[in-house]
Structure 1
Amino acid sequence: MSNRMAMRHDAADSLGSFLRDRRARLDPAALGFVSGRRRTPGLRREEVAQRSNISPTWYTWLEQGRGGAPSAGVLDRLAAGLMLTDAEREHLFLLGLGRPPETRYRGSDGVTPRLQRVLDALPVSPAIIKTATWDVVAWNRAAAIMLTDYGSLPREQRNVLRRIFGNARVREAQDDWLGVARYVVAAFRADAARAGAETTQLVAELSQASPEFAALWRENDVVGQGEGVKRLRHPELGLVELEFSAFAVDGRPDLGMVVYNPATPAAADAIRALIASRDSAGSGPRSGDQYST
């Protein structure tokens, strides 16, 4: 047996083992099946096939490692039929197709307290959590002071693209607005492909409101968000250089975290002093409308 055939055989065995294990964990009575006498715990194969809208024979073959590579649609139906979590669904796709599933966009009004504490643990590094449509749903105090006080804005205005292309003061705060705008549009395009129809209305809105966005969107550039440098004209600190890094949020592929670290010790000291002065004065971020991510 060749190495490639051996790898396929191992993957099929792993998929079958995973399906059998998850089938055994389901309670027949809770799902409306007559429990009666069963030789093994969990659902029967034909019951999983029924819940997943696939043929019992096909499902049996998958468990036995001889059904071939299932389609993404079949895996999605199996994930629903077996009531898999997002992490389990991703594992199912990796076993069945060798790749994770397409990102499923879901609207979000916030993040878990634990994730917010991660942001708050970065005292001088502005950090935000954004959705695939680039709505900012969480931020820390450093971000409110150095970038935008999102808490002072209506929810529909907490969108990076709307602010970059629709707010003159945000535009003036960028040391290289065109470079920032081109990068943002190219990075957003990658998220737009994952989010699908959810971004169609936003793209149409921005294209109509901003000829510059429309022109950049037509360029069809795509970049990974990765990392880079941002130069921001802050009204109190002057020109500040920040290094940014983008991170995926485990278990929430529709969310991304962006952290802006001060590029120099002097910049870190200046940001720390500014935050301390606001804290001692008991004042809020102030003038948040002037900044942007």
Structure 2
Amino acid sequence: MTTMATDRGTAAQPARGSEIRRNELAAFLRSRRERISPEQVGLPRGVRRRTPGLRREEVAQLSAVGVTWYTWLEQARNIQVSVQVLDALARTLMLDAGERAHLFQLAGATDPTPAASCPSVTPALREMLRQLEPIPACIQNSRYDILAYNRTYGRLLCDLDAIPPEDRNCMILVYTNQEWQESVVHLEETQRLMAARLRASMAGHLGEPAWKMLLKRLETESPTFRENWERYEVVGNRNKTKEFLHPRVGHLKLEHTDLWLGPEAGARMVTYTPFDEQSRERLQKLYDFALGRA
């Protein structure tokens, strides 16, 4: 009898821990929902609003989840939460990096979005990025997440330091970031080719949460991406000349080169070398600007 009682007590401990975590998750979501004003997310306040911050149905709508499902989440019900939904909630509630990590931890999930520091980016690779300056260079994975970059790359298409780490993805930026889009000379062609390359890369990652999360976000936030995605075009990676227009240094014509960091087409170092002398001089000016010299 003593053994049976002990077994029941041991089995109850994980269940109790899950219940505590669900209650903490519910309280955390409520607190963050209440601090976001309707105006911050483009919604009218109205005259009968009594709820501080956003209503539950507004969070559900902005996150593309069911109202009943989100209500259950705030009621600490025992339901499963996908990483795609957690990602959408984190963006709707404008969570910073620490809050986002807390959200995933409370939900018992692993955030598939790469953090600001990635184990695959070694100190040696970071030193290589620095030594390449003023040539813009970064390290990307096959999902186009920007894992590390040097100072020139950080100012080539936008102020990358100002972009949250979870949003530092070339696909997200080329389809949703206005400053990035204005820097690309042949934007429509670039967007179409990048969607085709993403489809080619995704063939080896079907069903993986991080890839599904990226695809859902792009389809939700960009009608242009949806249109290009529905073309079902497939293009492999290739080096080519690219043109950018920087507001401080002007037109840049650069040679794009992928340097693969392994035997498979996964992580790679992306470099942009000057195509002509004028671009070389302007890259130096961009580097000076990135260092605060200009």
TM-score bracket, shorter-length normalisation = 0.5 to 0.7
Q: Is the 8 A contact 2:157 2:180 kept in 1?
A: no
Match of 1:120 in 2: 130
| Residues 124, 262 of structure 1: 8 Å contact kept | no
Q: Does 1:136 align with 2:146?
A: yes
User: How far, CA to CA, are the matches of 2:227 and 2:214 in structure 1?
Assistant: 15
User: What does residue 88 of structure 1 align with?
Assistant: none
Alignment of 1:243 onto 2:255: yes
Name the CA shift for 1:150/1:170 in 2 (closer, same or farther; >3 Å). closer
| Structure number with bigger Rg | 1
Which residue is 2:193 aligned to? 183
Deviation at 1:190, TM superposition (A): 2.1
Cα displacement (A) at 1:151: 2.7
Q: Give per-residue Cα distances to partners, 1:147-199, cap 9 Å, x unaligned.
A: 34333321121111111111222222221110110111111222222233231
Match of 1:268 in 2: 280
Give 1:253 deviation, angstroms: 5.1
Q: Taking structure 1 as the reference length, what is the TM-score of the superposition?
A: 0.56
Offset, 1:138: 0.5
State the distance in 2 between where 1:170 and 1:106 align: 20
Structure 2 match to 1:22:
none
The residue type equivalent to 1:233 in the other structure is L
Q: Decide whether aligned partners of structure 1 residues 215 and 122 sit closer, same or farther in structure 2, where only a CA change above 3 A counts.
A: same
Checking the alignment, whether the CA contact within 8 Å between 2:157 and 2:184 is kept in structure 1 is no
- Report how far residue 230 of structure 1 moved: 1.2
CA distance in 2, matches of 1:212, 1:277: 32
Do 1:126 and 1:141's aligned partners in 2 also have CA atoms closer than 8 Å?
yes
Asked if 1:172 is matched to 2:187, the reply is no
> 1:161 & 1:278 partners in 2: Cα distance?
23
User: For residue 221 of structure 2, what is the aligned residue in structure 1?
Assistant: 209
1:192 matches 2:202: yes
CA contact (8 A) 1:240 1:267 kept: yes
Give the direction of change, closer, same or farther, for the CA distance of 1:176–1:187 in structure 2 (3 Å limit): same
Structure 1 counterpart of 2:170: 160
Provide the C-alpha distance between the structure 2 equivalents of 1:225 and 1:128, rounded to a whole number of angstroms: 16
Instruction: Please say if residues 165 and 213 of structure 1, whose CA atoms lie closer than 8 Å, have aligned partners that are also in contact.
Output: yes
How far has the Cα of 1:279 moved from its partner? Answer: 3.4
Cα 1:155/1:277, change in 2 over 3 Å = closer
Rounded to whole Å, the distance in 1 between the matches of 2:148 and 2:262 is 16
Q: TM-score, normalised by structure 2?
A: 0.55
Instruction: Kindly indicate whether the alpha-carbon contact (under 8 Å) linking 1:128 and 1:138 is maintained by their aligned counterparts in 2.
Output: yes
| Structure 1 letter corresponding to 2:276 | T
RMSD, matched Cα? 2.3
Structure 1 distance, partners of 2:220, 2:283, is 37
d(CA) in 1 for partners of 2:150 and 2:290? 14
Q: SS state of the match for residue 184, structure 1?
A: helix
Q: Tell me how far apart the structure 1 counterparts of residues 286 and 114 of structure 2 sit (CA, whole Å).
A: 34
1:111-169 C-alpha deviation (Å, 9 max, x unpaired): 10111112222112111111222110111111012234333321121111111111222
Aligned in 2, Cα 1:205/1:185: closer, same or farther, shift over 3 Å?
same
The alignment partner of 1:141 has SS state of coil
Greater CA drift, 183-192 or 148-157: 148-157
Contact 2:138–2:149, Cα closer than 8 Å, also in 1:
yes
**Structure 2 alignment gaps of length 5 or more:** 1-111
Which residue in 1 is equivalent to 2:234?
222
